[in-house]
Structure 1
Amino acid sequence: MNIKSLFYVLPLALLTGISTISCSSNDDDQSDAAQNGPTVYAAGREDYKAKYWKNGTAVLLGTGSGSSDATGMVVVGDDVYVAGYEVKGNGKYVAKFWKNGVATDLTDGSQDAFANGIAVVGNDVYIAGQEMVPGGTTYIAKYWKNGTPVALTDNTQSAVAEAIAVVGNDVYVIGERRMTSWLTPVTCYWKNGQRTDISDQNTTADHQDIAVSGNDVYMMWSVIYNNSGQSQTRYSKNLSAPTLIQDGSSSVSGNAITVKNNEVYISGSGMSSNGNSSVAKYWKNGSPVVVGSGVSYALGIDVFGTDVYAAGYQDNPGGGSAALYWVNGKPQTLTTGTGNALIRKIIVKEK
């Protein structure tokens, strides 16, 4: 299930357990990586509390009594920016971000709101998300620039802003929308507030992401295309005709995109070799690489040198999920798997 999507009952997203395989911890490997390798940042949640991990050491972000989640992350120099949301005492979801662990609320808690993606350019912080209209049942897609909201839709439709990128003077946002008379949402993007639909009502919008490489903008989106819940994933460079990933499998569910040296990497999940479950994968220029085992999902991805880092979670057959990332397919666990944990974003930087 797409946990962020308003079309799948957003207010229950943090309260519904995600079934997630027991991973053995590898503290020695993590210690060696921390000493000898690059710096690895991973943002997500553990037991419904927003956190990020720096070389395996957890930093708690969601310090309130309610549930919280970390959905987006940017690292600029020594500063760590994390976007997400938290449930306040009144039961409302508040969109927010944290800079080096210090929280800033983007909304006042009178309406449910969520922050999903973040970009930082110079001194400007851009955050994409959505907020419920007062007294209504639809979400307004918007982004916040330094805390000031910019609405992308009105109350004639319900919409999500999932990811954001800024190139020069242009602001790109990708997400999904559904008119009140429609049954299924479509994928769309906004460039400087002007919307373009990139899927139609023959499919159901699922996941979206944006990556920037130099001055090039890459968009990724997945859609559910049949009644069995199977997915297709496409990506596009600079708003050109999209490329459909065709790897010979019946379901390709992309979650995130990154581009290094003109190579396109997309993390997600696909069917296992026995066809009985989802398994974490990434695709390099459309070619699949399986990294997970059991029931697992790759939600985020980054590349450092020749090493590919995919991050997500793995189900525990006895209940719960382990937050982990894979380096060239080798798992590095961040939690024990006895609770519910996952990683949504991963960033790998030179020390």
Structure 2
Amino acid sequence: MKNIVRILSLCLFVFLNSCSKDSATDINETTNVYVLNTGYDTTTNNNYIQLWKNEESVNITDKSEEASAQRLYVSNSDVYILGTRYNPVKNKNEYKIWKNGAELIVPENVEFTDIFVSGADTYLLGYDYVKENIVLYKNGEVTYITLSASKYEEETKAKMFGRYSPAVRVRVLGKDVYVLGSESNGTSGVAKIWKNGEPISLTDGNFNAYPADLFVTTNNDTYAIAREYDGTNYIPKLWKNGRRVEKFIADVNFVPVSIFVDGEDVYVTGHTKIANNVYVAQLWKNGQTTDLGQGVFYSYASNVFVKDGKVYVSFQERNSERNYISKLWIDGVVTNLSSGKEDFYAQGVFVE
């Protein structure tokens, strides 16, 4: 069970060979940088959740209990963490939310994938595997997004890198609520964006599509990334306002993970397989790709965030001891957030 959780933490999961530093630099005194980590304790053989903020770390869960981080959101200095914790009585992982370290109650039988906070409203997106529907909770009240099951063949799932859920992201702008996910047409999964409950199909449904992330600008422009199978390969794709952007990554090995839009600049993080069969984390910006990892050992990006012109990317990279190091990339400078003596997975970065 614990090995499975470690793999899922890695899979939940982008740049020039940069010099590594022991501490973060160029962080403005008025800027708070948060990185969510899943650490591994070799003494207890448990994963645990850790929050890194401005060079200081605090453990959200105890090392004596199995837990794994998933999503991070910060609103007015309130820190929300979505993750799982193992329940030995029920012998299963249960989804949890921590607000400023305090655990909140969440519904059962739902595989939660995202959290978003807008003003006083908290949104939780997930997949109800009993009713087989994408569900959205707003302050505890549920809305069913899909009316049909979003199922995929296990063989097709196994071909994808990492675990997949048909519920992916929720974003809120004013009174408009956007949900990214996928819905079955009977034979394939169709990538869709639901705006206030109304679906917009991104793919035609001839093959399975696996959406990864969604960004909504202040002008209500929507950007979505996904991989779509074409009968031979999984093709990375980008959409703006429901229309595919043709000038995107041509590398069929690239797995898009996160997207951020700042003005006219579009940033996408992910990972690809290079010549030596090593996966390397990468950042794509307006047609230019930068390696984050050195390409010697495996590296994987989690997400990208842009604030006041600075670009922040969280990722993890394996060292010569085969342990993953949590890392933060800021405008080309890489900071190690863990020692490398134990596995640490960077699950996300948020800047406020």
Using the TM superposition, give the Cα deviation of residue 25 of structure 1 relative to its aligned residue in structure 2, in angstroms: 7.1
Task: Work out whether residues 2 and 66 of structure 2, in 8 Å CA contact, stay in contact via their aligned partners in 1.
Answer: no
Superposed counterparts of 1:291-310, under 5 Å: 291-294=292-295, 295-310=298-313
Using the TM superposition, give the Cα deviation of residue 230 of structure 1 relative to its aligned residue in structure 2, in angstroms: 4.7
Equivalent residue, structure 2, for 1:336: 339
Of 89-98 and 324-333, more deviation after overlay is shown by 89-98
Q: Distance in 2 between matches of 1:230 and 1:211?
A: 22
SS at match of 1:157: coil
TM-score (norm 1): 0.80
Task: Work out whether residues 237 and 244 of structure 2, in 8 Å CA contact, stay in contact via their aligned partners in 1.
Answer: no
Superposed counterparts of 1:224-239, under 5 Å: 224-225=228-229, 230-236=234-240, 239=241
Does 1:348 find its partner at 2:348?
A: no
Does 1:193 find its partner at 2:197?
A: yes
Q: Distance in 1 between matches of 2:270 and 2:121?
A: 30
In structure 2, relative to structure 1, the CA distance for the partners of 1:50 and 1:285 (3 Å cut) is same
Equivalent residue, structure 1, for 2:130: 133
In structure 2, relative to structure 1, the CA distance for the partners of 1:130 and 1:339 (3 Å cut) is farther
In structure 2, relative to structure 1, the CA distance for the partners of 1:81 and 1:254 (3 Å cut) is same
Q: Residues 127-152 of structure 1: CA distance to partner in whole angstroms, max 9, x if unpaired? A: 11223207xxxx43111111222222
Equivalent residue, structure 2, for 1:208: 212
Using the TM superposition, give the Cα deviation of residue 264 of structure 1 relative to its aligned residue in structure 2, in angstroms: 1.2
Using the TM superposition, give the Cα deviation of residue 332 of structure 1 relative to its aligned residue in structure 2, in angstroms: 1.0
Task: Work out whether residues 232 and 245 of structure 1, in 8 Å CA contact, stay in contact via their aligned partners in 2.
Answer: no
Task: Work out whether residues 312 and 342 of structure 1, in 8 Å CA contact, stay in contact via their aligned partners in 2.
Answer: yes
Q: Distance in 1 between matches of 2:245 and 2:76?
A: 34
SS at match of 1:216: coil
Q: Distance in 2 between matches of 1:317 and 1:230?
A: 31
| Paired residue type of 1:278 | Y
Superposed counterparts of 1:264-303, under 5 Å: 264-272=266-274, 274=275, 276-294=277-295, 295-303=298-306
Q: Distance in 2 between matches of 1:26 and 1:131?
A: 43
Using the TM superposition, give the Cα deviation of residue 199 of structure 1 relative to its aligned residue in structure 2, in angstroms: 2.3
Percentage of identical aligned residues? 24
Of 189-198 and 164-173, more deviation after overlay is shown by 189-198
Q: Distance in 2 between matches of 1:105 and 1:92?
A: 17
Task: Work out whether residues 34 and 51 of structure 2, in 8 Å CA contact, stay in contact via their aligned partners in 1.
Answer: yes
Using the TM superposition, give the Cα deviation of residue 299 of structure 1 relative to its aligned residue in structure 2, in angstroms: 1.5
SS at match of 2:339: coil
Q: Distance in 2 between matches of 1:25 and 1:191?
A: 42
Task: Work out whether residues 313 and 324 of structure 1, in 8 Å CA contact, stay in contact via their aligned partners in 2.
Answer: yes
| Paired residue type of 1:39 | N
Superposed counterparts of 1:1-351, under 5 Å: 14-16=5-7, 18=10, 26-27=21-22, 29-30=23-24, 32-33=25-26, 38-47=31-40, 48-63=47-62, 66-89=65-88, 90-108=90-108, 111=109, 113-133=110-130, 139-154=132-147, 156-158=149-151, 160-178=166-184, 182=187, 184-225=188-229, 230-236=234-240, 239-272=241-274, 274=275, 276-294=277-295, 295-349=298-352
Q: Distance in 2 between matches of 1:248 and 1:13?
A: 32
Unaligned residue ranges in structure 2 (runs of 5+):
41-46, 152-164
| Paired residue type of 1:327 | I
| Paired residue type of 1:122 | G
Using the TM superposition, give the Cα deviation of residue 97 of structure 1 relative to its aligned residue in structure 2, in angstroms: 1.7
SS at match of 1:16: helix
| Paired residue type of 1:172 | Y
Task: Work out whether residues 177 and 186 of structure 1, in 8 Å CA contact, stay in contact via their aligned partners in 2.
Answer: yes
Q: Residues 115-172 of structure 1: CA distance to partner in whole angstroms, max 9, x if unpaired? A: 22222111111111223207xxxx4311111122222235643463211111222211
| Paired residue type of 1:99 | K
| Paired residue type of 2:124 | I
| Aligned residue-pair number | 324
Q: Distance in 2 between matches of 1:11 and 1:191?
A: 38
Using the TM superposition, give the Cα deviation of residue 242 of structure 1 relative to its aligned residue in structure 2, in angstroms: 1.9
Unaligned residue ranges in structure 1 (runs of 5+):
1-9
| Paired residue type of 1:26 | K
Q: Distance in 2 between matches of 1:320 and 1:186?
A: 37
Q: Distance in 1 between matches of 2:210 and 2:112?
A: 17
SS at match of 1:14: helix
Task: Work out whether residues 216 and 222 of structure 2, in 8 Å CA contact, stay in contact via their aligned partners in 1.
Answer: yes
Q: Distance in 2 between matches of 1:83 and 1:271?
A: 29
In structure 2, relative to structure 1, the CA distance for the partners of 1:84 and 1:115 (3 Å cut) is farther
